Amino acid sequence: MDALGEMLPVIGRGFLVTLPLLGWSLVVATVLGTLLAACRVSPVPPLRALGTAYVNIFRNTPLVVIFLLVAVGLPELFPIRNFELRAIIALSVYTAAFVCEAVRSGINTVNPGQAEAARAVGMTFLQTLGAVVLPQALRAVIPPLASVYIALAKNTSVAAAFGVVEATFTLSGLIEDYPQYVYLAFAGIAAGYVLIVLVISALAAVAERSLAVAR
């Protein structure tokens, strides 16, 4: 119990870095992914090609490779010294491809007649998408988006390999300081990630139920 009491503050400090990493990456990936989904369903061929190319490239590139490109290549182009910011960029551009496909799948569930009716009364593509299609697609988008966010929560651990002192990074220090309690350290870190996943799942369930009632 004494060892656990000493470990918990260290684990807590690690998750205080993991949570902002997750939060900012989630927001940026959601915004970027939604814009990419709009490109993929756009009537403009170059925008569709751009969205398709982005998704194909980033969905088929390992996250570690993207981290390497951002950690090594980005500082050569922009003077970004903050490793946490680099991690957010890497996680965001990678996850945005999966968000895009989740949003696009939701858009495809909406009856095409809804968009046609909106265009018939003079609404532009962006107005139709924002006011008619996306609100109806939201309920169908929540389950796949929750899965993407859960994967993102676990992917934040990759940042540890690039010097970001988040939850997984603290594990190596705990193993060195408490070699006789390796399994306890693993259990503490795992419990933190499980808690994050449970919170995301619970929020997604609440949102889905709320939208079901609203409908």
Over the stretch 36-54, which tens digit does the pLDDT of each residue have?
A: 999 998 888 999 999 999 9
Residue 77: is its pLDDT beyond 70? no
| Amino acid (one-letter) located at 19 | L
Question: Is-contact 36 55, C-beta < 8 A?
Answer: yes
Which DSSP state fits 79? -
Which DSSP state fits 132? I
Distance CA 133, CA 32 (A): 18
What are the tens digits of pLDDT across the range 137-189?
Answer: 888 899 999 999 999 999 999 988 777 878 888 888 888 877 787 888 888 88
Distance CA 4, CA 79 (A): 40
| Amino acid (one-letter) located at 143 | P
* Single pTM value for the model: 0.88
Which top CATH class is 2-214?
A: mainly alpha
Query: The tokens of 203 are what?
Result: 């929020």
Residue 214: is its pLDDT beyond 60? no
Residue with tokens 């997604």: 204
The residues spanned by each domain of the chain are 2-214
Distance CA 134, CA 29 (A): 17
Pick from 91, 79, 69: nearest CA to 20: 91
How many residues appear in the chain? Answer: 215
Q: Please enumerate in sequence order all residues whose Cβ is within 8 A of that of 144, keeping only pairs 6 or more positions apart, or say none.
A: 101, 102, 105, 106
Residue 206: is its pLDDT beyond 60? yes
Residue with tokens 């090609």: 49
